[in-house]
Amino acid sequence: MKRKLAATLLAATMVVAMFAGCGTTASKETATPDASTDATSVTETATTEEASSQDPNAYEECTLTFDWWGGDSRHEATIAAIEAFEKKYPGIKIEYNYGAWSDWETAKASEYLSGTNADIQQTNFDWIRKYDGDANTYLDLRTVSDTLDLSQYSDTVLALPVDSKGGLAGIPVSLTGRTFFWNKATYEKAGLSVPTTLKELMEAGPIFKEKLGDEYYPLVLTEYDRAIFMAFYLQAQTGEPIIDQNNNFTMTEEQLKLGLEFITSLEENHVIPTIEYYDGEGAEAIDKSVRWIEGKYAGCHNWDSAHKSLVSALPNGDDLVVGNALMDTGAHGSGTYVKVSQMFSISAKCEHPHEAALFLNYILNDEEGAGIMSTERGIPESKAAFAVCEAAGKIDPMVAAAHKSVMDSNPMYWNPLFDDSSLKGDTALYNNLFEGLSYGVRDGSYSIEDAAADLYAAYTAIAPAK
Amino acid sequence: MNKTQRFLRDNIGFFFVLPWLIGFLIFKAYPFVSSLYYSFTDYDLFKGISKYTFENYVNVFANKQERTALIITFKYAFMTVPLKLVSALFIAYILNFKIKGVNFFRTAYYIPSILGGSVAIAVLWRALFKDGGLIAMILGRIGIESPKFFTDNNWALFMVCLLRVWQFGSAMVIFLAALKGVPTELYESAAIDGAGKWRQFFKITVPLITPVIFYNLITQLVAAFQEFNGPFIITKGGPRGSTTLMSLLVYNNAFGGAYKMGKASAQAWVLFVILVIFTAISFWSQKHWVYYADEDGR
C-alpha cells in the first residue's frame, strides 16, 4: 500500500513539475509608445481599462503570444513588423510562432480545445463556425475599437466575420475570390485570344484538340475547382448563393443535375482534362504541374491571391493574363463569390486585449507596420494599409488586376458551410463525387442523376433546403 | 541504513521504469480505454457528446464508404503480407549461399527497409510511377504502353502494396538469421539421399523456420492493417476510393477537419478487433504448421 502511495505521489510530483512554469507573466506597469525606444517613459498607472479609457496609446508592459501560417516571405515580413512594433512599444514583448499551412489547422484545433491558443492569431473565416460556435473563443473586436481603428474597413467587410452573438470575431486582412488565369501564349498558338465568355471557352476545347493535340486543354479544374465552378454556374442561373445567409441550401436536385451536366460537358468538349488525366501526373497543385509549366494547361480557375505562384511557375511570366469572370455564365452574371482570405483575431482569454489590439492596429493600419507587412496576405482591406502599399509601389499590378476582376464581378455571399468537412477533404464528398463522375460517366458506373442525388443529400444534410 | 535509503534500495527498479510507466498510462492506456468509450458516442471534438449510440459501429458495415474501406484494407493486407513474406524468404534463401559480394547484396536489399514508412520514399514512388514518370518512359522506350499506375482502379492498390512489398528487408534479415540456424548436416544427409535443392527447401528449410515465418506473419499482418503513409501520400485514397484504407478514414474523421472522434474511434476499434481475431486465428493455427524443435516437435 505504501509503495502504491509513494508511486502515486512521485507520479503526481513529476506531472506537476512538468507543467510548472507554463504560462505568461506580465507586470503592472504601463507605458506610452516611444519611437526612440527609450524605456524611461514607463510610468505607473492603474488598470488596462483605465489606461485605455484615458489614452488609447497607453499600455501595460506584457508578453503577448502570436501565431500565423504562410510561406517564407510572409514570415520574414511579419517578424520584421513584430520587431518594429517592439521597438516602438518597449515593454510589450511578442512571442511568435509560425509555420506552413500543412497540418496547421489540426495543431490549432487542439490548442482551442485545450485553451492554449495564442493571444493573437491569424485565423480563417470558417474557424468562427468551427471553433467559436459559442462566441467564447475570439474576442469581439468592437470592444477594443478605441485602439483598433475599424473605420479603415468598409461596413461590408466588417459584416462578414461575425460570431453567433453578433460580435466581430476577426478583422479581415484581405478578401479573395476565384478568377481565371490564362496562358495567352498557348491560346495564341491555337490561333485564339483568351476567352471572355463561356461560349468562347466552350469553343476553345475542340480547337485546342485539333490544332495543338490531345495534351492541350484550355482550362484545368481539380475536383474542388469543379465544385466551385459548378456553384458559380448555378448561382448565375438563379441569382442566389448556393447556401444563403440563413444556412439554407437554395438549389433543387434538378438544378444540381444541370450543374453536373455543365461540368461533364466541359470534359466531353475537351475544355478540361479528366480527373484521371490530371491525377495521373501526381502534381500536388496546379502550379506544380509540368503541364501547367509547359503551357499544356492554358488556364485555371484559382484564388486571385494565387497569382504569384502561378506566374512564377511559368518560364515566361508575361504569358499569364488574368481573365475577367465569364459574365455570360447565366442570367444573373458570373455567379462568383468572394470570401475573407484571412483574418486576425484576439483570443477571448487574452489578458491584455488592449495591448493585443494595439499590436493589430500597428500591423494592419499603422503607416510603418502596414508598410512592413506589405501585401504578404493579399491586397489589404484596410484603407490606410492599401494607401501605404500603393504609394510604396508594393501592389503588383497583376495581383491588383486579379483582385479587381473578382471584386468587379458582382460577387455573391459565400457561406462557410460550402467548405464543411463532410464536403471538402481528401475522402470527403467533393473529391469522391467529381472523381466518381469523371470516371463514371465514361465507364457507365456512375451517372449524373446518381451524382445529383448524392450531392443534394450531402448539401441538405448540412444546410436544410430552403 | 535509514528508512529512506532502504525504501530507495527496495524500489530502485520501480523508479527506473516509472518514466516509461507514466508515458504508457498517459499516452497509451488512457487513450486506448477512452477511445472505446468515445466509440459509443457521437463525440465531436468541439461540440462534445450529445448522444450515446451504436450507430458508429453499425455504419462501419452499413455505410458504403466505410464498408468499401474495410474491404480494401483486407485486400491490401492479403496482397501485401504473402507477397512480402515470399519475397523476403526467397531473397534471404539466395543470400544464404556463399556467393561473391553477398554482403553488398544483403545491404542493398535491406536499405529500403531502413527507409521504412518514410514520406520521402512514398513521394519517390509517386514520381517513379506517375504518368510520364521514369517507369512509363522506360516502358515507352521498349514499345510498351505504360499502365496508369495511380489513376487506374485496377492498378492503384497494387502499386501501394508494391511499395511495402519492396521494403521486405527487415523480414529478410530475420529469415536470414533463421536460415543460418538450420543444421547443415540435414542438407548433407538429404543430398546423399538424392534430394534436390527445391526438395531440401520445402522438406527441411521451411519446416525448420516455421516459427520465424509465424513471427514475420504476425508482425507484417499488424503493420499491413495499420498502413497509412503509402496511400495517404501517393494516392490520397483515390482513384475513386480504391486505395482508401480504413486507417485513412480514421485519420480523416478524427483530424481531417471533421473532428468526429466518436466515429473515428469506432472505426479504429473495428480495425483493432479484426487484428485481434486474425492474430488469434494465427496463434490457433500454429499447432498445425509451426515446428518448435525445442518442445515435442509441434
Whole-number Cα distances in Å, A242 to A118, A207, A230, A245, B212: 34, 33, 10, 10, 60
pLDDT at A54: 53
Q: Supply the pLDDT for residue A19.
A: 36
Name, of A244-248, A301-305, B30-34, B237-241, the range with top average pLDDT.
Answer: B30-34
In three-state secondary structure terms, B260 is strand
Q: Which three-class secondary structure state does DSSP give residue A409?
A: coil
User: CA-CA distance, A437 to A428, in Å (whole number)?
Assistant: 14
Q: Mind giving me the DSSP string for A222-270?
A: -HHHHHHHHHHHHHHHHSS-SB-TTS-B---HHHHHHHHHHHHHHHHTT
Hey, is the C-beta of B257 within 8 angstroms of any chain A C-beta?
yes
**Lookup: cell for B181:** 540456424
pLDDT in tens, B208-255: 999 999 999 999 999 999 999 889 888 888 888 899 999 999 998 888
Q: Which residue of B has its CA nearest to A9?
A: B18
The grid coordinates listed for A179 are 478568377
Residues in A touching B238 (Cβ below 8 Å): 279, 431, 435
CA distance A106 to A425: 13
- The grid coordinates listed for A139 are 474576442
- Classified as helix, coil or strand, B25 is helix
Contact A195, A326 (CB under 8 A): yes
Which range, A321-330, A418-427, B279-288, has the best average confidence (pLDDT)?
Answer: B279-288
A280-290 pLDDT per residue, tens: 988 878 888 99
Is B18 close to A6, i.e. CB distance below 8 A? no
Touching check for B20 and chain A: CB below 8 Å?
Answer: no
ipTM score here?
0.76
For residue A465, the cross-strand partners are A249
Domains of chain A: 32-169+340-397 (3.40.190.10), 177-337+411-462 (3.40.190.10)
Residue A37 has pLDDT above 60, yes or no: no
Residue A392 DSSP label = T
Query: Which residue of B lies nearest to A12 if distances are taken between CA atoms?
Result: B22
Which of B65, B151, B248 minimises the CB distance to A279? B151
Nearest Cα to Cα of residue A106 among B66, B102, B258, B121? B258
Per-residue model confidence (pLDDT) at position A71? 82
Helix/strand/coil for B292: coil
What backbone phi and psi angles, to 5 degrees, belong to A260? -70, -35
Q: Which residues of B touch A284 (CB under 8 A)?
A: none
Residue A222 in contact with residue A431, Cβ under 8 Å? no
Residue B85 has pLDDT above 80, yes or no: yes
CB atoms B257 and A421 under 8 Å: yes
In this predicted structure, the answer to whether residue B193 has a pLDDT above a threshold of 80 is yes
Hey, is the C-beta of A131 within 8 angstroms of any chain B C-beta?
yes
Q: Do B46 and A112 touch (CB under 8 A)?
A: yes
**For A2-6, A158-162, A166-170, A383-387, which range has the lowest pLDDT when averaged over its residues?**
A2-6
Res. A168: pLDDT tops 90: yes
Grid cell digits, residue A167:
460580435
Identify all chain A residues contacting B11, using CB atoms and an 8 Å cutoff: 3, 6
Does residue B108 register a pLDDT over 70?
yes
What does the pLDDT look like over A255-280, one tens digit per residue? 999 999 999 999 999 999 999 999 99
**Burial of A80 by CB count in 10 Å (0-12 exposed, 13-18 middle, 19+ buried)?**
middle
Which is more confidently placed, B10 or B298? Answer: B10
Chain A residue numbers with beta carbons less than 8 Å from the beta carbon of B245 are none
Amino acid at A14: M
What is the interface size between A and B, counted as CB pairs within 8 Å?
A: 95
3-state secondary structure of A28: coil
Closest CA to B89 of B202, B188, B175, B178: B175
Facing B258 at nearest CB: one of A275, A276, A421: A421
A436 touches chain B (CB under 8 A): yes
Q: Do B47 and A133 touch (CB under 8 A)?
A: yes
- DSSP strand E in A274-367: where? 299-303, 320-323, 338-346
B130:A427 CB<8 A:
no
Residue B117 has a pLDDT of 61
- In B16-80 the beta strands, taken as DSSP E runs, fall at none
**Calpha distance A326→A226 (Å, rounded):** 15
- For residues A85 and A120, give the distance between their C-alpha atoms in angstroms, rounded to a whole number: 14
Q: Which of A26-35, A41-50, A95-104, B72-81 has the highest mean pLDDT?
A: B72-81
Tell me the nearest-neighbour CA distance from A312 into chain B, angstroms: 22
Residue of A nearest to B244 (CA): A427
Beta bridge partner(s), residue A337: A412
| Pairwise CA distance, residues A286 & A256, whole Å | 26
Q: What is the pLDDT of residue A322?
A: 85
Distance between CA atoms of residues B76 and B156, nearest Å? 11
Are the beta carbons of A10 and B151 separated by less than 8 Å?
no
C-alpha cell at A416: 462557410
Backbone angles phi, psi at A210, to 5 degrees: -75, -45
Q: Confidence class of residue A6 from pLDDT cuts 50, 70 and 90?
A: very low
Q: What is the pLDDT of residues B119-135, one digit of tens each?
A: 888 888 888 998 888 99
pLDDT tops 70 at residue A34: no
Q: How far is B241 from chain A (nearest CA, A)?
A: 7
Contact yes or no for A426 and B256 at CB 8 A: yes
Confidence of residue A327 (pLDDT cuts 50, 70, 90): low
List pLDDT tens digits, range A59-109.
Answer: 889 999 999 998 888 899 999 999 999 999 999 999 999 998 877 888 898
> What SS3 class is residue A370?
helix
Interface test with B, best of A13, A426, A446 (most B CBs within 10 A): A426
Q: Do B22 and A15 touch (CB under 8 A)?
A: yes
Residue B193 C-alpha, separation from nearest chain A C-alpha, in angstroms: 56
d(CA B11, CA B16): 9
CA nearest A115 in B: which residue? B46
Nearest to A282 among B21, B150, B240 (CB): B150
SS (H, E, C) A9-55: HHHHHHHHHHHCCCCCCCCCCEECCCCCCCHHHCECCCCHHHHHHHC
- Residue from A276, A294, A462 to probe the interface with B (highest B Cβ count within 10 Å): A276
pLDDT of residue B160: 92
Please indicate if any CB of chain A lies within 8 Å of the CB of B256: yes
Q: What is the pLDDT of residue B296?
A: 57
A195-211 per-position pLDDT tens digit: 988 899 999 999 999 99
Query: Do you find a cis peptide bond into B231, omega within 30 degrees of 0?
Result: no
**Buried/exposed A276-295: b ≥16 CB within 10 Å, e otherwise:** bbbbbbbbeebbebebbeeb
Domains of chain B: 38-289 (1.10.3720.10)
How far is residue A379's CA from residue A377's CA, in Å, rounded to a whole number?
A: 7
The answer to whether residue A4 scores a pLDDT higher than 60 is no
User: What sign does the dihedral B58-B59-B64-B66 (CA atoms) show?
Assistant: negative
Q: Which three cell numbers stand for residue A187?
A: 491560346
Supply the pLDDT for residue B211.
Answer: 93
CA–CA gap between residue A365 and residue A141 (Å, rounded): 15
Strand A320-323 to A299-303 pairing:
unpaired
Tell me whether residues B65 and A280 touch, CB distance under 8 A.
no
> Measured between CB atoms, does B231 come within 8 Å of chain A?
no
Q: What is the pLDDT of residues A351-366, one digit of tens each?
A: 999 999 999 999 999 9
Binary contact (B131, A280; C-beta < 8 A):
yes
Q: B29-80, pLDDT tens digit by residue?
A: 999 999 999 999 999 888 889 999 999 999 999 998 899 999 999 999 999 9
Rounded to a whole number, what is the distance in Å from the CA of B257 to chain A's nearest CA? Answer: 6
Q: How far is B69 from chain A (nearest CA, A)?
A: 11
Strand segments (E) across B159-229: none
Cα B275 to Cα A431, B73, B280: the distances in Å are 30, 11, 8
Q: What is the pLDDT of residues A208-236, one digit of tens each?
A: 999 999 999 999 999 999 999 999 999 98
Using 50, 70 and 90 to split pLDDT, how confident is the model at A51?
very low
Mean pLDDT of B136-153: 90
Q: What is the pLDDT of residue A25?
A: 34
DSSP-derived letter for residue A419 is G
